[in-house]
Structure 1
Amino acid sequence: MKDKGVNYANISLTFYYALNNSYNLPVANFTVPGFYQGHEKKAHRRKVVEAVGLPWAAAREAVSNGSTVSFRVGLATRVKYKILVWFTKRQSLVVVGDVAVDGSGEKVKKKGIKLKSGAPDMRCRLVIVFTFLVILLL
């Protein structure tokens, strides 16, 4: 963000536990208050979130066998960018990321969590529109 600042609205985090290989069991919700991240600045937020409804027995059994337990983190917020002296319109941001945890409760991968959007790729939309125009012209 070399030339922009970002103003985040409240950030809603939802944590899901992988039960029977699908992330259908929400175990925690948390809201980070909105903040402004200035030009070329980094923002770090550390909070402790308490999990409720997590099947601890199943999780302990899975990690005692040497395997990992998977969680999914969902993030939803609205952002607006500050370019020079004015702000852009607010844009919605909804992303998810998967986290694998070992028996000690630590992340398996040392790198950060990669968050991905469920929005379709713009190239796919262009191909569909181009195909529709070709069919229409024929």
Structure 2
Amino acid sequence: MQALEKWLARVLLLNSGLALAVSLGLLGAAAPTGDMLLHGVALLGFLAGVLSLRRARFGLWGGALYYSVQLFSYFPHGEGPTFSVKAGVSLGVVMQFANATVVMNAFALVLLAATLAVLWRRRHQTAAAQ
């Protein structure tokens, strides 16, 4: 299981590092300066990736939060508030509705499930050791 934890930490670090580089304008056009949510999520993912490599519990929880924010994007047709955080790699499933388009990030869903499985396993190993 430790190999899976290392792999998840490396993928999180790579994914969030890419998102951080894009949000800061190091790769391509910079994100708008008013989009602090994107910058914050990318920084959270990067710090969580570093902590995950050191096997800190907050690293896994931060990774779970990083992927859960990316899970769904909502784009209404016409006027209305949108919600979209595109921080890192996105492989989406697009669902068209009459009033809006919803995008589910399948990549984030798989990595969120793997991170939660590692957290669950680590919790039960700690409980069994006591």
Question: Scaled by the length of structure 1, what TM-score is found?
Answer: 0.29
Decide which structure has greater strand share: 1
Structure of higher CA gyration radius: 1
